[in-house]
Structure 1
């Protein structure tokens, strides 16, 4: 039996593979040199084989360590990325929950009307516009109704559907109200212009609460905007503490839809026009008239529906101003 067979060989798998390789080397040596190898030659051959295997193992170990280092760095980077992704997810989930709550609240607020046809919505808005003005029950005692003045603007700002219906319903834009002008009064000129444009041919209810020196310019602007639409005036109350402009100059022309009018001027006028024709022409629906210190002249014969006529003057007036003796 060859001597090399007595050499102790480890039983590990990789070592067994090395032993098979060593056996091949022994056989090759014997074939090349003839005869068996001495124990020392076997040991030297064995040493060479193990040295080569050790070098290969060291190289493999360095390669594995390098790969482990790369993988560990990748794991560290992925751990950081994973932490950032988790934080991001937490933030996104929080914002999503907030948006869900907002959307649900908005849906609850508008859901009763989402299925409401536009024609029904238009009727609701128009009916609301026809409700009695609680701030203007009796002609001559009206006060500016802020809620009524702002109602169509608020309705038009709710959503696109409501805005479309509001802008397509002229009767909603029926009120022109101006309070006693103090502070920033330009907004009322702008609001008056908007109401006139959006009301189209609908009748107008006009309440100018108190035109004093503080808003002289803007009062004139409002009246200048309203005068071309005298034919659409329905219920009117004008109150002025100014001598100029005189309100009667805005009452000349066709007033076919006029039903009630109150003209209150603190400073009376001594100018009287003999011909009553230019004032409130065609006001056949006029039921109530109240004038205080105004030079307004009416021919009551052309007012078949007149039921109430109140005249208050601080100066003399001709008797023919409101009636004609036959």
Structure 2
């Protein structure tokens, strides 16, 4: 028989409590509460390590809802996204989740699938969990519900897309500068005919901003340019509206002058690349895409891109939201971050 005995046997059918952790670690309940609250910095590193070992040993998990009733915070952040399948959304959520973790918060992600009813249901769920704040990357079809949450003191930050009726901070790409950089590059490469291919712009501020910036900049430079709205289903890019997109690209490939397309986001870039692969047109049409995706260096001759700083956007959104949670009452602001140009073979100098 062993000479060592545990201090106290645990009842595995009962959920461990803060009292259990304190007893196991040989410290006060107050110290354990500080560890899980906003005063962790007041504990020594040795004390934190001691608590962490007891937490792991007992399998303790803090009750966020109970904590919110005591201290007013759950340390939960809600994230409402339009389509989690979109590569931009995936990268955004990854960055936001890491930023939340660094600050001692957890991120609850709700995917709306661009469905108004589902979006409202998710808002009710997030509200029910008493999230401390919310980041929103949707069209915002439930503006009344969002505004009601904001009026009740739930801070929110919009990402990529503005919702005019909400007086909230917004973090996203500097669309005007990105489009100007794209046009600078294409003109310098000798392309004389430009087309922006974009998903329908109605009701989505980032698409509207890119289309307006493209038209204004091309008009200012007296360039021959057009905007083409493509219907693209993100779940099936290869087949989505392929006949219409193939027809449009066939027309552009027939242009006698050096022609290039600017793809407004990664979804459009992928659809255009699939179409050019079918048509065999990579060597006759310049391609530049907004959004840097893992496959861009591998497709065709390598696709030139304007990479959005998605990691920085996600972190800035969370940092801004946490500042609001902590009481920042300055006027709502728009934070625009610059893109980075990655030059590859798809924008080789026009012959």
Compare relative contact order (CA 8 Å, sep 6+) and give the higher one, 1 or 2: 2
Give TM-score scaled by structure 2 length: 0.25
Give TM-score scaled by structure 1 length: 0.27
> Whose Rg is larger?
1
Relative to its length, the structure with more helix (as a share) is 1
Relative to its length, the structure with more strand (as a share) is 2
